[in-house]
Amino acid sequence: MGKHIFGTEPSNSELLLFYIYEFDKIDKIKVSETEMETKNMGFKKSLSKSKKTQIKIGIGKKSQNLFQKAFEKLMEIKKKEHRVKKNMDKEEKYRKKQEKKLAKKKGH
């Protein structure tokens, strides 16, 4: 299975020329065996299987799914940065508290 993008809608002559000269040059994509599965199954089982794949893949267009993944990645990075900053603030607060404690002991 392969894919070729023509751009605007090709005419019949362009399709024929493509099929004769360039069809062999298309990179082939191997379809996984799970996609080729044609096993007969009951209605309820097929319904639950389709729900699972929708949850895993997500409903929407390919570009929307890619945008969603990029957004999730960005949010993950922000959470990590926030966590690091929060820990730094805790350490700074603890350090100031210790300095204040030592200053009290000195008797100033």
C-alpha span between 6 and 82 (Å, rounded): 46
Q: What digits encode the pLDDT tens for the residues 54-81?
A: 777 666 777 777 787 888 888 889 999 9
Q: Is 68 within the bounds of a domain? A: yes
Entry pTM: 0.39
Q: Which residues constitute the domain of residue 99?
A: 12-106
Whether the per-residue pLDDT at 85 is higher than 90: the answer is: yes
5 within some domain: no
Q: Which residues contact 68 (CB under 8 A, 6 or more apart)?
A: 58, 60
For residue 67, is it within any domain? Answer: yes
Confidence of residue 87 (pLDDT cuts 50, 70, 90): very high
Backbone torsions φ then ψ of 19, nearest 5 degrees: -65, -40
Whether 100 maps to a domain, the answer reads yes
* Inside any domain, residue 33: yes
Query: 99 or 41: whose pLDDT is higher?
Result: 99
Average pLDDT of span 81-92: 95
List, for residues 14-62, the tens digit of each pLDDT value: 889 988 988 888 766 554 555 445 677 888 888 888 888 877 766 677 7
Instruction: Please indicate, yes or no, if residue 20 is contained in any of the structural domains.
Output: yes
Q: How many domains does the chain have?
A: 1
User: What is the SS3 assignment for the chain?
Assistant: CCCCCCCCCCCHHHHHHHHHHHHHHCCCCCCCCCCCCCCCCCHHHHHHHHHHHHHHHCCCCHHHHHHHHHHHHHHHHHHHHHHHHHHHHHHHHHHHHHHHHHHHHHCC
